[in-house]
Amino acid sequence: MDVLPMKNKDEYLLSGAEILLQGLVAEGVDTLFGYPGGAIMPVYDALYDYNDRLRHILVRHEQGAVHAAQGYARASGRVGVALATSGPGATNLITGLADAMIDSTPIVCITGQVFAHLLGTDAFQEIDVVNTTNPVTKWNVQVTEAADIVPALSKAFFIARTGRPGPVLVDITKNAQNERITPPEYRPCRSLRTYSPKPELQPSQVLAAAALINEAKRPYLLAGQGVILSGGTDALRAFAEKTGIPVACTLLGLGAFPTGHPLYAGFLGMHGNYAANVNTNVCDLIIAVGMRFDDRVTGNVATYARQARIIHVDIDKAEINKIVRADVAVHADAREALEALTAQCLPNRHDEWLSSFRQLSEVEDAKVMRQEALRDGPVRMTEVVHDLFRQAPENTIIVTDVGQHQMVTSRYFGFLRPRTHITSGGAGTMGFALPAAIGAALAMPGTPVVAVVGDGGFQMTMQELGTIMQYRIPVKIVLLNNSFLGMVRQWQQLFHGARYSFTEIENPDFVQVARAYNIPATRIDQREELPDVIQDLLAAEGPFFLEVVVAKEDNVFPMVPAGAGVADMLLELPVTRAPIQTE
């Protein structure tokens, strides 16, 4: 009888790197954004055989990887994943981790690390990434043995996506990536003993909130990103339509409530709508859902909504009573809370209250829109955004950088659907838009994605044009070029006597730069060209770059001066160029 040869026991073993990739597949990951290096090389070697299961996008800088993962997550609602090596590779992720932390974006960053026996020796490219990233991650962990990769990874994805989402980092030493072991079964994490991500909705809190809502004469709902993250946009609309309550949105909440709805009250914040801000100090009840009373929304807290009762709905208990004290705190998921409140609240109308928003909007139109409607002189940023909104399909995803163009886009592009507005909110990260747009486009194939950027922020990450070129990513780019760091210049004009200290910027030929990356590009400086060139941009099958030369000293109004209250909005540039006193 023939004797069958014994199999080598190593055939049953997998490296830690292979186990990691199997875990990513088990978590439903399909796209990775990363940049290889020595300490993460075993993972990249294993990735060579995973091309049919995991798409890897080689970015041009690790900051591009983490922002792309953010854009992927924000557009899709899934967890974005970024890979980087140790040392500077890992530290280059920190800006994106901080951005994701404050903006509640679910990402998992995986970094390579030096061999375990070298930890603490200042080995080449060794950085204590766990302690370095503690303040900017929801959770992080260092793995030094292959057997610990599966439990660390499953826990990472569970923490990143549940409760208030956020960034998680898993740091894996090189020996753990190389070590070969019998692969453990991958079981996604479903619960943790010390972590309760979804609080149980308390009926008593709902009843107390409903009682305030039913008796209010001038109720006002402020919708934040938590409504979108919870999948609660339909619940918000049902609640508003039953109760007749006007709804305003925060910067990250744009898209939670359609801007064309009769109950839409406007955009909150420093550069938001006049009515939305002023009536904050007129209402008798604020229902804040999934928002954290950021300083750009409240202005001077000492004068913020002193006349109003406050209902605060938030999944993160740490946000409740942190800035503004709530009369009724509803510690719950936003969608569940809105559905419960809709059931308990009485049908109502607030016609006179709604009319006050329209009257204040007319004041804004007279002061702000009238000036922006003047079609003379250089092209204005608002004209570009208006034309883009008129022509773009309703499902277009708009990704903005940080600055004047961001505020203009937030004000004048009418966001009708959730997850169509992606920007850096709390951190205000210049350079965010281009890589985030790459992530959004890869997350949502077939959906138009337009990055609206300024000439300053664009140059912080414009090397990612190489990523667009290599993978033929159909991102459309609209660059509003005023040859200034525009928002800083506006503040210098208003608050520092127009002393433009190091804000005027000499730029390269952006069209030639884009064309060097094989991206079709054009530049215009005449408003008559806008409609046709935007049509060309949106119709392009692949990427397209449009530079629009806009007025150098264009300003964004209304504006709440720093230190002022929300009712003290500037609607136009003061006659004097002397600094404005806000204290």
List, by residue number, the catalytic residues.
62, 124-125, 174, 487
Which residue in 318, 478, 281, 501 sits closest to 399, CA to CA?
478
The rounded distance, in Å, linking the Cα atoms of 522 and 544 is: 9
- The alpha carbon of residue 410 and the mean position of all alpha carbons in its chain are separated, in whole angstroms, by 13
The answer to whether the beta carbons of residues 493 and 553 sit under 8 Å apart is: yes
DSSP class per residue in 301-359: GGGSSTTSEEEEEES-GGGTTTSS--SEEEES-HHHHHHHHHHHSPP---HHHHHHHHH
Query: Can you name the residues that pair with 523 across neighbouring β-strands?
Result: 547
Q: How far apart are the first and last CA of the chain?
A: 97
User: Does 203 sit behind a cis peptide bond, omega within 30 degrees of 0 on the bond before it?
Assistant: no
The answer to whether the beta carbons of residues 140 and 170 sit under 8 Å apart is: yes
| Amino acid occupying residue 92 | N
| Amino acid occupying residue 415 | F
CA angle 281/287/291 to nearest 5° reads: 95
Strand (E) or helix (H) holding 453: strand 449-454
- Distances in Å between the alpha carbon of 364 and those of 184, 267, 359, 409, 446? 63, 13, 9, 17, 37
Which residue in 405, 345, 399, 368 sits closest to 74, CA to CA?
399
- The alpha carbon of residue 362 and the mean position of all alpha carbons in its chain are separated, in whole angstroms, by 31
Which residue in 235, 176, 159, 170 sits closest to 46, CA to CA?
176
By CB atoms closer than 10 A (0-12, 13-18, 19+), residue 193 is: exposed
The rounded distance, in Å, linking the Cα atoms of 577 and 575 is: 7
Maximal C-alpha separation, the chain: 103
CA angle 526/529/535 to nearest 5° reads: 145
The rounded distance, in Å, linking the Cα atoms of 355 and 262 is: 11
Query: How many helices and strands, by DSSP H and E, does the chain display?
Result: 24, 20
Which residue in 556, 561, 455 sits closest to 504, CA to CA?
455
The rounded distance, in Å, linking the Cα atoms of 438 and 57 is: 10
**Residue 173 DSSP SS3:** strand
The rounded distance, in Å, linking the Cα atoms of 398 and 389 is: 10
DSSP class per residue in 395-427: T-EEEE-SSHHHHHHHHHS---STT-EE---SS
The rounded distance, in Å, linking the Cα atoms of 72 and 37 is: 23
**Residue 308 DSSP SS3:** coil
